[in-house]
Amino acid sequence: MLYIGVDLGTSAVKLLLMDEKGSVKNIVSKEYPLSFPKPGWSEQNPSDWYKQTIEGIKELILNCEKTQVAGISFGGQMHGLVILDINDQVIRPAILWNDGRTYEECDFLNNVIGKKKLSQYTANIAFAGFTAPKLLWVKKNEPENFGKIDKIMLPKDYIAYMLSGIHSTDVSDASGMLLMDVKNKCWSKEMLEICDIKEQQLPTIYESYEVTGTLKKDVADSLGLSETVKIVAGAGDNAAAAVGTGTVGDGRCNISLGTSGTIFISSSKFGVDKNNALHSFAHADGSYHLMGCMLSAASCNKWWMDEIIGTKDYAKEQECISKLGDNSVYFLPYLMGERSPHNDPSARGTFIGLSMDTSRADMTQAVLEGVAFGIRDSFEVAKSLGIKIERTKICGGGAKSLLWKKIIANVLNIKVDVIESEEGPALGGAILAAVACKEYESVEIAANQLVKVIDTIEPDQEVAKKYEIQYNKFIQIYPTVKDLFKVL
C-alpha cells in the first residue's frame, strides 16, 4: 500500500509518497507566498495552502497505482491561527508561528494571569508565536472578526478539514496553542475562559496516529482516489519530524534546521522545565517531549545568502570555511525575535566583532555558528534538568550542509546521526498514516524499522574546546544588548 505525508511548511508544502516498507516513491514541493503586512507580522492565506496541497498530491501520485493509496497524514507549521465562520469560510489571513505582534497579550498572560498558573493549566507559558495570545489580539484589535469565529484551527488541520470535512487536531500540535492541558491531553477550561472561547469552537483532539475521517467524495473524485482513503490526525512539524527521524521512545534527541530551529527530546513521562525555557508538549508517539525552539535557523542562512550576498549557491559560499572554532565574528540569529530560551519578540539579528580584516566567509560562518549557539542555549537547559544527551538525529534544509552538521556536532560536543531520508515531517506524516492503517503496531515500532542511520559525524575534541570558549562569549552578547532592542 501507499501512504502520503503532507508537510505544510512556512514557505512551501512538501508531499512525500511512501510504500509500506518505507521506500520513498516520490517527493513534490509547491511554494506559496508569505506576507509581512507590518514589521514583526507574518501571515498567509490558507486557500494558498490548500490549492498547492491539491496540486502537489495530483503530481505526487501521477505515475503510481492510485488504488494503492491508503492514507494521508500531516506534519505542519505549528501555532498558526486559522479562524472560520459558521459557513467554514476563512475569516482573515492566518497569523503564523513567527508572528511577533502579541507582545501585550503575552505580557498579560505571563504577568497578570501569571506564569505559574499558565504552567499549571497548560504546562507552558505564553510565547508570542502561540495561538492563545493571537486569539486575544484578534479579540482586542479585530472584535468584529472575533465575533464571527465558529471554529479555531491550526494550519495542517485546516488542510485535513478541507480533505475530510472533519474538524480535528492532534495532541502534539494542540500542545502549542496554550489552550490544551498537555498532561491530560484535553482542552483547558481555564484557558478557554481566559480567551473568551467555547470548547465547541475548538476541534476534537486525537492522537497523531488516529484516523479522523476519509476523503470527501468531491475531493476523492478530483484526485482520482478512493473515498476510503483515510485521513490521519498527523502532528506538529517538530513531532512529525521526530517520527521521521526515529526520535521516539524515551530520551532520544532530534535537531531540526528548518525555517525555525528546534531541539526535540522525547520522553516516556510528562515533565515541565521549572523555568519554562523549554516547551513541554505531547508527542506523536503517544508520550511526551521537551522542545526548545528558535524562530530563525535555516532562514538566517537563506536571508544572508539570498538577500545580503545575493547568491543561491550556498555550497560554494561554504567551501572556503575550514577553521572551525577560530572565528572572531558573532551573530545573534534573532531575525524574527526569539523564543527559547529568551522569549523576547523584540530581539533582532546582530553581528558583532567585525573588523577591517573580516571577510565574507567569516560572516557566513558566523551565521551558521550563531544558529548552532542558539540551539545550544536550549541544549544547556535540558542538561540542567539532568537529561544526558550523547547523540542526536538531524533534519531540515540546513541538515543538507555537511559543514553545518560539523559545526552542530562540535558546538554541542555530541554525535550527530545522519539518516537515509532527511525529509523529516513529510516522512513522519507518511509513517503516521501507515500506523493508522495498521501496517505497524505502534509509531515506535514503525520508526525503528523504517528510519535508517547512514552516517555519524563525531565532534573533534580540539575544535569542541574552541567552541566552548566561543559559546561562553556568545552567551554574554544577548544580555548586554537586550535593553537596546526595545529602544531600537
Is 239 within 8 Å of 443 (Cβ atoms)?
no
Top-level CATH class of 2-238? alpha beta
At residue 122, the pLDDT reads: 97
Virtual CA dihedral for 194, 197, 203, 204, nearest 10 degrees? 70
At residue 396, the pLDDT reads: 86
Nearest residue to 241 (alpha-carbon basis) of 458, 3, 421, 437: 421
At residue 480, the pLDDT reads: 97
At residue 485, the pLDDT reads: 94
At residue 276, the pLDDT reads: 85
305 is in an annotated binding site: no
At residue 354, the pLDDT reads: 98
At residue 283, the pLDDT reads: 97
pTM attached to this predicted model: 0.88
The answer to whether 377 is a known catalytic residue is no
- In tens, the pLDDT along 118-167 reads 999 999 999 989 999 999 999 999 999 999 999 999 999 999 999 999 99
- Please report, rounded to a whole number, the percentage of residues in the chain having pLDDT higher than 70: 100
Domain positions in the chain are 2-238
Is 34 within 8 Å of 11 (Cβ atoms)?
yes
454 by Cβ neighbours in 10 Å (0-12 / 13-18 / 19+) ranks as: exposed
Catalytic residue among 237, 273, 344, 377: 237
Q: Which residues pair with 30 in a beta bridge?
A: 13
By DSSP bridging, strand 24-31 and strand 12-19 are: antiparallel
> One digit per residue, pLDDT tens: the chain, 488 residues?
999 999 999 999 999 999 999 999 999 999 999 999 998 899 999 999 999 999 999 999 999 999 999 999 999 999 999 999 999 999 999 999 989 899 999 999 999 999 999 999 999 999 989 999 999 999 999 999 999 999 999 999 999 999 999 999 999 999 999 999 999 999 999 999 999 999 999 999 999 999 999 999 999 999 999 999 999 999 999 999 999 999 998 889 999 998 889 999 998 889 888 888 899 999 999 999 999 999 999 999 999 999 999 999 999 999 999 999 999 999 999 998 998 899 898 999 999 999 999 999 999 999 999 999 999 999 999 888 888 899 999 988 899 999 999 999 999 999 999 998 778 899 999 999 999 999 999 999 999 999 999 999 999 999 999 999 999 999 999 999 999 998 98
Residue 436, all three cell numbers? 493508522
Nearest residue to 229 (alpha-carbon basis) of 57, 469, 59, 454: 57
336 is in an annotated binding site: no
Provide CB contacts within 8 A for 308, sequence distance 6+.
Answer: none
Distance separating alpha carbons of residues 445 and 248, to the nearest angstrom: 9
